[in-house]
């Protein structure tokens, strides 16, 4: 039976405008999913939108429409088009307004209630509508300007609201020891290390029960045993990961797809690695495979967000450099798990050095030489052992890096092949070999080595750059779709067909 790989992005808050911070998460999750598909794993990638809560209701009202019409509009005009723009091959897209989600949430909640994990209680706390989150005193900072003298949300710089309600509570506090045991028993459950430490420390300080319902507005999913309450938006949103795959409804699909791996920004790792596993334990389902909290994209030293007005739309980048370069740049330039700074200069420099001059030039030189010296036919001989060994090692290392979610390392291994092959051309000087009758067999081996190496690199880079690798693959005589090649056997591919001349894969981009 093939290995299971179910991977999720967070569901995005539909009210936000998609920016490259969201795109970064989507692309990384997509690269992982594509890689696993090329391994032959039973892969399923889930993404979607989070559509309930007070903030959405307020914006819809402000736009003189209903929350359902408002979210429909945003999903169709902003969120789905971004996935298409970025070549995201998600297998499913869940909206929390989908009937299947509502059904799953009600079943899950009822089970928690029946098992005694939910009780009714009084509640007073500070709430930021922008975050849709309760704030502890430590989360608040002194306000400035018009909010001088008040405490405000550190993220939104706006005052919080004091909420007093009688609500339903989830007994989160009961799960402290089980969570600590989980982190200790499975050190790779929360990654990377610094996020794991932060989460563990948070739980070690003690947990309070979580208010999981609201009765002051109705834009949400009704609590099954008390229709006067709707489920707290975060609690409900986490359940998308199981409602999408048939939880409580389609046991066969659920057994096939669950547990999943969650790729999230580090700022929401706590929800995914504290509240969510406690909910899973309470409901008696398996805990997720992994929670990986990646870093933030910084622009001018600040976290990319709409609230801070540093948002850059992905299209601004793809219009100039193309989708493949967008995907390549963010996966290659930033160590996955660390914060990274975006700059147009760095993007431009890497595009030209690594893609245009590195990969693109290697491809065009090799294809031209096979045409010139062998009439376009790839010599059917073994590659030189030194390069063959490097291909095998690089493939193995790249594949191992993916299991550690180190996407940048996997790409580095592919680019190591490209660099080595460019060096190999210079050392071997095929244009000199071509003039020497005694060197014809050697020239065959050099050309075959170059073609094989390019094919191997194309396979390894296929999860990252979906379009240019297909063009490259076809140009060196690869058959079928490059995404259908077994990625673990990438070094074993042997080009024996014909090469075809293609337009430059990464045309030069003039400075803006």
306 is catalytic: yes
Catalytic residue among 306, 308, 371, 442: 306
The C-alpha atoms of residue 480 and residue 477 are separated, in whole angstroms, by: 10
Dihedral sign for Cα 405, 409, 413, 415, please: positive
Question: Shortest approach of Zn ion to residue 268 CB, angstroms?
Answer: 13
Strands (E), 255-342: 261-265, 290-294, 297-299, 302-303, 340-341
262 is catalytic: no
Based on DSSP, count helices (H) and strands (E) in the chain, helices before strands. 21, 18
Question: Shortest approach of Zn ion to residue 160 CB, angstroms?
Answer: 7
Which string of x and - marks every residue 73-112 that binds Zn ion (by CB under 5 A)?
----------------------------------------
472-501 as b/e: b if 16+ CB within 10 A:
bbbbbbbeeebbebebeebbebebeeebee
- Helix (H) / strand (E) element for 437: namely none
Residue 308 interacting with Zn ion (CB under 5 A): no
156 is catalytic: yes
Question: Shortest approach of Zn ion to residue 16 CB, angstroms?
Answer: 13
80 is catalytic: no
371 is catalytic: no
Q: Which is nearer to Zn ion, 87 or 126 (CB)?
A: 126
Q: Which is nearer to Zn ion, 307 or 392 (CB)?
A: 307
> Is 36 annotated for ligand binding?
no
Catalytic residue among 36, 101, 102, 128: 128
> Is 101 annotated for ligand binding?
no
Residue 152 interacting with Zn ion (CB under 5 A): no
171 is catalytic: no
Among 28, 155, 459, 499, binds Zn ion (CB under 5 A): 155
Cβ-contact 132, 234 below 8 angstroms: yes
Q: Among 207, 182, 178, 206, which residue's Cα sits nearest to residue 196?
A: 182
Q: How many CA atoms lie within 13 A of 233 on its CB side?
A: 27
22 is catalytic: yes
Q: Which is nearer to Zn ion, 153 or 331 (CB)?
A: 153
The C-alpha atoms of residue 181 and residue 191 are separated, in whole angstroms, by: 16
> Is 131 annotated for ligand binding?
yes
Question: Shortest approach of Zn ion to residue 487 CB, angstroms?
Answer: 42
Cβ-contact 383, 420 below 8 angstroms: no
Kindly state the DSSP code that residue 270 receives in the 8-state scheme.
Answer: H
How many of the chain's residues bind Zn ion (CB under 5 A)? 6
Strands (E), 171-289: 190-191, 210-211, 213-214, 222-223, 226-231, 261-265
The C-alpha atoms of residue 466 and residue 436 are separated, in whole angstroms, by: 40
Q: Which is nearer to Zn ion, 129 or 381 (CB)?
A: 129
What strands lie across the sheet with 213-214, from one edge to the other? 213-214, 226-231, 222-223
Using CB under 5 A, which residues numbered 112 to 131 contact Zn ion?
A: 128, 130-131
User: Segment contacting Zn ion (CB under 5 A): 114-122, 154-162, 247-255, 325-333?
Assistant: 154-162
Question: Shortest approach of Zn ion to residue 133 CB, angstroms?
Answer: 7
User: Segment contacting Zn ion (CB under 5 A): 29-37, 148-156, 429-437, 450-458?
Assistant: 148-156
The C-alpha atoms of residue 454 and residue 301 are separated, in whole angstroms, by: 37
> Is 128 annotated for ligand binding?
yes
Question: Shortest approach of Zn ion to residue 334 CB, angstroms?
Answer: 25
Cite the annotated binding site for Zn(2+) by residue number: 128, 131, 153, 156
The catalytic residue positions are: 19, 22, 128, 131, 153, 156, 303, 306
Q: Which residues bind Zn ion (CB under 5 A)?
A: 128, 130-131, 153, 155-156
């Amino acid at each position: 039976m093939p290995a299971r790989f179910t991977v999720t992005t967070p569901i995005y808050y539909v009210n936000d405008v998609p920016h490259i911070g969201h795109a970064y998460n989507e692309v990384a999750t997509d690269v992982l999913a594509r890689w696993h598909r090329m391994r032959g794993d039973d892969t399923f990638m889930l993404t979607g939108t989070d559509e309930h809560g007070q903030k959405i209701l307020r914006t819809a009202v402000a736009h003189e429409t209903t929350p359902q019409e408002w979210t429909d509009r945003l999903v169709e005009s902003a969120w789905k088009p971004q996935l298409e723009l970025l070549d995201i091959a998600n297998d499913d897209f869940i909206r929390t307004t989908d009937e299947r989600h509502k059904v799953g949430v009600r079943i899950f909640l009822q089970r928690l209630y029946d098992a005694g994990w939910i009780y009714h209680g009084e509640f007073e706390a500070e709430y930021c509508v922008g975050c849709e989150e309760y704030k502890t005193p430590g989360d608040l900072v002194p306000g400035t300007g018009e909010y001088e003298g008040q405490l405000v949300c550190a993220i939104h710089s706006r005052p919080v609201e004091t909420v007093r309600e009688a609500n339903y509570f989830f007994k989160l506090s009961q799960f402290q020891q089980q969570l600590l045991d989980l982190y200790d028993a499975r050190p790779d459950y929360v990654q990377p290390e610094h996020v794991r430490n932060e989460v563990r420390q948070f739980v070690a300080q003690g947990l309070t029960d979580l208010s999981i319902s609201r009765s002051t507005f109705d834009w949400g999913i009704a609590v099954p045993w008390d229709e006067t309450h709707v489920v707290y938006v975060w609690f409900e949103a986490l359940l998308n990961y199981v409602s999408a795959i048939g939880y409580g409804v389609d046991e066969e699909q659920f057994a096939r797809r669950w547990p999943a791996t969650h790729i999230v920004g580090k700022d929401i790792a706590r929800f995914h690695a504290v509240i969510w596993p406690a909910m899973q334990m309470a409901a008696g389902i398996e805990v997720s495979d992994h929670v990986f909290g990646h870093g933030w994209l910084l622009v001018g030293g600040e976290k990319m967000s709409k609230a801070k007005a540093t948002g850059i739309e992905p299209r601004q980048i793809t219009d100039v450099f193309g989708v493949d370069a967008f995907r390549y740049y963010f996966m290659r330039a930033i160590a996955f798990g660390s914060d990274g700074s975006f700059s147009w200069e760095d993007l431009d420099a890497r595009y030209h050095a690594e893609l245009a001059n590195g990969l693109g030039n290697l491809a065009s030189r090799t294809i031209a030489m096979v045409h010139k010296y062998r009439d376009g036919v790839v010599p059917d001989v073994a590659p030189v052992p030194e390069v063959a060994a490097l291909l095998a090692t690089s493939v193995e290392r790249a594949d191992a890096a993916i299991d550690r979610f180190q996407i940048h390392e996997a790409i580095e291994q592919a680019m190591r092949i490209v660099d080595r092959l460019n060096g190999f051309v210079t050392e071997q000087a095929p244009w000199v070999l071509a003039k020497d009758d005694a060197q014809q067999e050697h020239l065959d081996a050099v050309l075959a080595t170059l073609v094989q190496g390019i094919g191997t690199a194309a396979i390894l880079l296929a999860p990252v750059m979906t379009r240019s690798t297909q063009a490259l693959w076809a140009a060196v005589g690869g058959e079928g779709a490059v995404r259908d090649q077994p990625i673990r056997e990438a070094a074993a591919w042997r080009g024996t067909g014909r090469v075809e001349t293609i337009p430059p894969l990464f045309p030069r981009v003039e400075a803006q």
